[in-house]
Amino acid sequence: MFSKDGNTKDVKTPRICDLVWHNGEFIKWNDARVHVMSHVLHYGSSIFEGIRCYSTKRGPAVFRLPEHMQRLLNSAKIYRMDHPWSLAQLCEGAIELVRRSGMDQCYIRPILFRSLDEEHPAFGVNPFPNPLACYIGAWDWGKYLGDEAIEQGVDVCVSTWNRLTPNSMPAMAKSGANYMNSQLIKMEALLNGFAEGIALDDRGYVSEGSGENIFMVAGDVVLTPPLSSSILPGITRDSVIQICQELGITIKERSIQRAALYVADELFFSGTAAEITPIRSVDRITVGKGGRGQITEKIQRIFFEITKGERKAPGDWLTYVNNVNTSKASNNGHAAGTVKSSSSAGGSEPELTFQTAE
């Protein structure tokens, strides 16, 4: 949100929902506070998600909500965060938060972290004595890399910072600690006049951006790095793959050399915040014709048609907030009903059927 000098904002201050979901209850934004000695502040012990809710003719619709919340649960499992919240409760909390916010579109941020037991504080690296806290916040966030980036593309560099090796930090988990690596990549790019950086993995192959997956177009084939390149398994990345398959575009997961970026016909980022953002240059070498390529434009157009509810998605990708079959929120902030899950962390659950895109 800020330029490289740290003083000038790149985008307007977002409109923020004045409520936050906290451990099953709704509290005021200003009351969402943690103790300065919380484990998460000292050791980075948090996992989180980023989810977009889009404005459609049928009201606000959350994009691939169950998939994002399931990834949150997967991250928690990897980091041995044994918590009481189910996939259903998290989905319901997000839906009810959007409903109460009154916003047609927003960015949803669930976060689970190790807090502090103030009666029996624990200060060491050992995380187990510390209680877990879960919050969901929301705000209206514009285009992450700028409104003009969607059409014109962005200028990026290959970072001197590599992505974390998979056996040192789990790249499959969306954890706060991993994003210290992302910050180094992002800051270096900004200070050198670029919008974003691309990190390589420990073998020297292309991994991803500081907060985005990457795709390369060579001829009529779309390529993207595999999970073995220390990438986060992106939900938008998966959406792009499915869109390509539906369009009959050849899509392959393959290791990509750095030099291949310079001679690519097209490049683009994907991510919840970045959505589908073209890349027009890498290390000041022009990509293709120096703008948004034809295949990128086609994928981008279909993605936005889906998120606006104007086009049928390859799967049930939209959860229409106003159509979810829940009763009035109870005193503790939970909406009635649940969503199907075969691997959520909350045990057995009844079922709730979300009405999704047709």
Cite the active site residues. 174
Pairing of the two strands 154-158 and 275-282? parallel
- Map residue 10 onto helix, strand or coil: coil
Q: DSSP per residue over 18-57, as a string?
A: SEEEETTEEEEGGG----TT-HHHHH--EEE--EEEEEET
Beta bridge partners of 215: 268
Alpha helices in 192-338 (DSSP H): 235-247, 258-262, 294-307
| Residue at token pair 């793959």 | 241
Q: DSSP per residue over 314-345, as a string?
A: SS--EEEGGG-------TTSPPS-----SS-T
Q: DSSP per residue over 110-160, as a string?
A: EEEEE---SSS---SS--TTSPEEEEEEEEE---TT-TTHHHH-EEEEE-S
Q: From the centroid of its chain, how far is CA 137?
A: 14
**CA 13 to each of CA 17, 102, 144, 149: distance values in angstroms, whole numbers, following the listed order:** 13, 18, 13, 19
Structure tokens at 266: 């097209």
Beta bridge partners of 265: none
Residue 162 and residue 317: Cα distance in Å, rounded? 33
Pairing of the two strands 275-282 and 59-63? unpaired
Phi, psi dihedrals of residue 264, rounded to the nearest 5°: -65, 150
Provide the terminal-to-terminal Cα distance of the chain, rounded to the nearest Å.
Answer: 35
Q: From the centroid of its chain, how far is CA 176?
A: 12
